[in-house]
């Protein structure tokens, strides 16, 4: 299994251009938000138990395997995203899913424009797991700017 630093380094290869980076800052959070929004209507039990909540918890568990500090930093981000999607789902009715679709499509257009500027394909074309790394890459960048350590967990190599 790759370490968090290996994932981040590999992701960075196709994210060096400042305009592409800026577009990722603008587009990755809305993409994650829209995915949570798509999953929110899918109930698993009571009002709080749904596929969006489960997906966020599983994603945090994956991030914790890579770096508990980054996972901890993602908790408030995911909480805000969930609460926004929950409010949208509860208050917008039939408009919720089309809104999420519009956000998703527009944000991906921004991503592809960024990669056109970069001159490199998105990382997930190489490995689909990079879709999970994009949000973590942004948070790791924020940690670096704030001089916070990501302290990657040790991974045994066999």
79-120 pLDDT, tens digit each: 999 999 999 999 999 999 999 999 999 999 999 999 999 999
What does the alpha-carbon distance between residue 9 and residue 6 come to, in Å, rounded to a whole number? Answer: 5
Q: In the 8-state DSSP scheme, what is residue 146?
A: T
Hey, what's the torsion of the CAs at 42, 46, 48, 52, to 10 degrees? -20
Q: Where are the domains of the chain?
A: 4-145
User: Which tens digits make up the pLDDT trace of 31-83?
Assistant: 999 999 999 999 998 777 999 999 999 999 999 999 999 999 999 999 999 99
Q: Would the pLDDT of 153 be above 70?
A: no
What does the alpha-carbon distance between residue 11 and residue 70 come to, in Å, rounded to a whole number? Answer: 16
Contact 158, 9 (CB under 8 A): no
For residue 142, what pLDDT is reported?
96
What does the alpha-carbon distance between residue 137 and residue 31 come to, in Å, rounded to a whole number? Answer: 14
Contact 52, 42 (CB under 8 A): yes
For residue 120, what pLDDT is reported?
92
Hunting for tokens 């929004």 — which residue is that? 37
Q: Would the pLDDT of 158 be above 60?
A: no
């Amino acid at each position: 299994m790759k370490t968090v630093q290996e994932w981040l380094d590999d992701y960075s290869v196709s994210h060096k251009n400042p305009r592409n980076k800026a577009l990722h800052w603008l587009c990755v959070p809305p993409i994650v938000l829209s995915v949570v929004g798509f999953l929110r209507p899918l109930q698993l039990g009571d009002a709080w138990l749904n596929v969006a909540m489960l997906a966020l918890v599983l994603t945090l568990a994956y991030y914790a395997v890579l770096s508990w500090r980054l996972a901890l930093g993602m908790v408030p981000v995911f909480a805000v995203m969930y609460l926004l999607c929950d409010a949208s789902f509860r208050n917008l009715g039939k408009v919720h899913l089309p809104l999420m679709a519009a956000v998703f499509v527009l944000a991906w257009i921004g991503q592809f424009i960024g990669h056109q500027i970069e001159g490199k394909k998105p990382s997930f074309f190489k490995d689909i797991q990079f879709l999970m790394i994009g949000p973590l890459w942004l948070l790791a960048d924020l940690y670096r700017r704030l001089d916070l350590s990501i302290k990657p967990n040790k991974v045994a190599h066999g």
